[in-house]
Structure 1
């Protein structure tokens, strides 16, 4: 059979998805190897803690900016950096698995740039929602909020597809309902911070951005405005 007719069994991952996963895992491997004394010397044991202090998103800092009107770059930067500092190796692995799965589907339909925008901006939206609801002592770290943004974009795709075939669009939200249910169950059993607020904020941001970033999305919105 000639190579011209060869079709791979699995579609290759979009480069932006691979790059994002390598970036997240690269940071995590540096922390993990440092904690085990394999690189960086004795001071490397504290790399993860130092990164959390320097790059996590703190509600108190956001509240201070709102109250004073002073928007410091070092605080605003944390809206983007916190997803890349994982709590532990396990968290980073789960984040990467979701990025590979959801990022691939979103990038193939929306395009690489739009997929990356959804990931980054969903992290920002999640942090803002979290800060507006939680007390000043709360903080965010880890990549699940922007991952939920990708889930929001994937849900939009299902929602749109169901509307085109005339089926119940509520079915598109089954995945997020299951994930939120699992989160509530784990919180009841093990306790912990209410990070589900940020995850839900990320989901809503990703879903909302899809109206604009999906192919032809902005044109459809302008068309509706003109008709009204």
Structure 2
């Protein structure tokens, strides 16, 4: 009858819930989404400021000011080492540089790496591991960069952290290939390809020492992932004692 309401059967309700489209972020570990939103949100603010949509005339210089305030500078690092003083505002640069990028394209490429590889890392090791690898790779990248080079070129951007996820992903492949009794060297194909690209672009357009931070982030991510495996630290200590 016209006045009667139509009730859904349990079968209809279940079928409709099964066919609902899944949001893209639903498939990603929450920590990966959080990191991407922070990095993307900061870049969005810079873009809106450059376009004059927020912040007024001063907003055009927000990116440069942020680079100066939060970027990692080797000269500052060397000054702290020489004076034996470690102000918190400059210690934060070991981590804060990752949240500032040179351009929209620079930030976009980082986000692609983090979203793609962070998904597997998060699903394998968990949310906390995603944050730990991001932080450790970021700090390792800036620390080795400061120790290895003497340069005026500042370090900004989350590429070392992204390479940290490459390192963790490589460790996952390394374990998997070992279990299948296949050559584990294949696990390093991706990092070899990426380093090769950096070499080619460096020869063509002139390179910067940023690759040192990226490679350091990769190593840090690989080692951190290895230590996150249950019982890994104990096995490493046992092997060292046996030598």
Instruction: Give the structure-1-normalised TM-score.
Output: 0.92
Helix, strand or coil: the match of 1:141? Answer: coil
Counterpart CA distance in 1 for 2:84 and 2:165 is: 31
Query: Per-residue displacement from partner, 1:178-211 (whole Å, max 9, x unpaired)?
Result: 0000011001111131211110011011111112
Match of 1:154 in 2: 169
Match of 2:49 in 1: 34
Query: Per-residue displacement from partner, 1:121-178 (whole Å, max 9, x unpaired)?
Result: 1010011111111114232001111100010000011011111121111000000000
Query: Which of the residues 190, 202, 212 maps onto 2:205?
Result: 190
Match of 2:4 in 1: none
Q: CA RMSD in A?
A: 2.0
Counterpart CA distance in 2 for 1:52 and 1:96 is: 19
Check if 1:57 corresponds to 2:76: no
Change (3 A) 1:156 1:180: same
Change (3 A) 1:184 1:53: same
Q: Unaligned 5+ residue runs, structure 1? A: none
Once the two structures are TM-superposed, the CA of residue 5 in structure 1 deviates from its matched residue by: 9.9
Q: How does 1:184-223 map to 2 (within 5 A)?
A: 184-214=199-229, 216=230, 219-223=231-235
Match of 2:5 in 1: none
Match of 2:93 in 1: 78
Q: How does 1:3-152 map to 2 (within 5 A)?
A: 6=18, 12-152=27-167
Change (3 A) 1:136 1:190: closer
Query: Per-residue displacement from partner, 1:22-71 (whole Å, max 9, x unpaired)?
Result: 11111001101101111110000100010000000011111122222211
Counterpart CA distance in 1 for 2:16 and 2:31 is: 26
The 8 Å contact of residues 63 and 136 in structure 1, kept in 2 or not, is answered as no
**Greater radius of gyration (CA):** 2
Q: Unaligned 5+ residue runs, structure 2? A: 1-10
Check if 1:165 corresponds to 2:180: yes
Helix, strand or coil: the match of 1:199? Answer: helix
Counterpart CA distance in 1 for 2:182 and 2:172 is: 14
Match of 1:225 in 2: 237
Once the two structures are TM-superposed, the CA of residue 73 in structure 1 deviates from its matched residue by: 0.6
Aligned residue pairs, count: 225
Counterpart CA distance in 1 for 2:233 and 2:45 is: 44
